[in-house]
Amino acid sequence: MGIVANIIGAWNAVSNRVMMFLPNLVAAVVVFLLGWLVARVARTLIIKVLGALRFDVLTERAGINALLVKGNIQKQPKELLAILVYWFLMLIVIIAAFDVLGLPIIYNLLNKIVLYIPNIIAAVVVLIFGGILANFLETIVKAVSSGLGSETASLLSKIAKYSVVILAITMALQQLNIASSVVTVAFAILFGAFSLALALAFGLGGRDAAANYLQKMREARHK
C-alpha cells in the first residue's frame, strides 16, 4: 500500500503541476501566434513604405547595393531591413511568451539581446550615411584637385573617401560598444589624414587655378 500511495501521490503532484502550467502554455502560444502575425504584417508594410520612399536610391548612393551584389546577396536593402525588423519583433514576442511561461533565465537572456539590437540599427545607419558622405567627398575632392593631374586627383579623392569610410566603421563599432578607446585614436588619426588630403586638394588645386588665371591675364595684356 505504501508503494501504491507513493506512486499515486507522485502522479497527483505531476498532474497538478501540468494543470497549473497548461493555462500559461496556452497563453504563451496565443501571444506567440498574435505576435507572429503582427511581425509579418509589419515586414510587408515596411517593404512597401520603403519602396514608396525610394529607399533603394539612398542605399545605391551609399554603395550598399554594390556590396550586396559582390556578396552574392539577392535581396534588396529594403527587404533586408524589413527582415531585421521582423526578427526584432519576433524576439520581443518570444520574450513575452517565455515571460508568460514563467521561465526567467531564458527571458533575461533574450531581453539582453533585444536591448542590444538598437545599437546594431544605429551602427547600420552610421554606415549608410558614412558611405553617402564618402562618395560625395570623393567627387568634390576629385573635382577641386583636377588641376593637379588625374593621378594626383584620384589619389587625394580616394584618401578622402576611405578616411570617411574607416571613420564611419569606427563610429559604428563605437555604437556596438566595441573597442571604444581604439575608436577614439582612430578618429584622431583619420581626421588628421582627411584634413591633410583636403588641404592639399584645395591648396594645390587653388594654386594651379590661380596660376592659370594670371597666365591668361598676361596673355590678354600682350594682345
For residue 18, pLDDT beyond 60: no
Rounded to an integer, the average pLDDT of 113-120 is 80
Max mean pLDDT range (52-56, 70-74, 142-146)? 52-56
Higher pLDDT: 149 or 116? It is 116
Q: What is the pLDDT of residue 45?
A: 92
**Mean of the pLDDT values across residues 146-153?**
71
What is the DSSP-derived secondary structure letter of residue 63?
A: T
pLDDT (0 to 100) of residue 213: 47
Neighbours of 90 (CB within 10 A): 17
Place of cell 550586396: 68
- What mean pLDDT comes out for the span 54-67? 76
Work out the pLDDT band at 184, boundaries 50, 70, 90: low
- Which amino acid does the sequence have at 187? F
Cβ 131 vs Cβ 62: under 8 Å = yes
- Which residue did the predictor score with more confidence, 50 or 110? 50
Contact by Cβ (8 Å): 35, 96: yes
Q: Is 76 left (phi over 0), alpha (psi -120 to 50) or beta?
A: beta
Model pTM above 0.75: no
Q: What is the mean pLDDT of residues 173-188?
A: 69
Give the pLDDT confidence score for residue 216 in this predicted structure.
57
Mean of all residue pLDDT scores within the chain: 74
Distance of CA 74 to the CA centre of its chain: 18
| Weakest mean pLDDT among 27-31, 131-135, 192-196 | 192-196
Highest-pLDDT range among 34-43, 148-157, 184-193? 34-43
pLDDT category at 55 given cuts 50, 70, 90 is confident
Q: Which residues of 117-143 are buried (b: 16+ CB within 10 A; e: fewer)?
A: eeeeeebbebbbebbbbbbebbeebbe
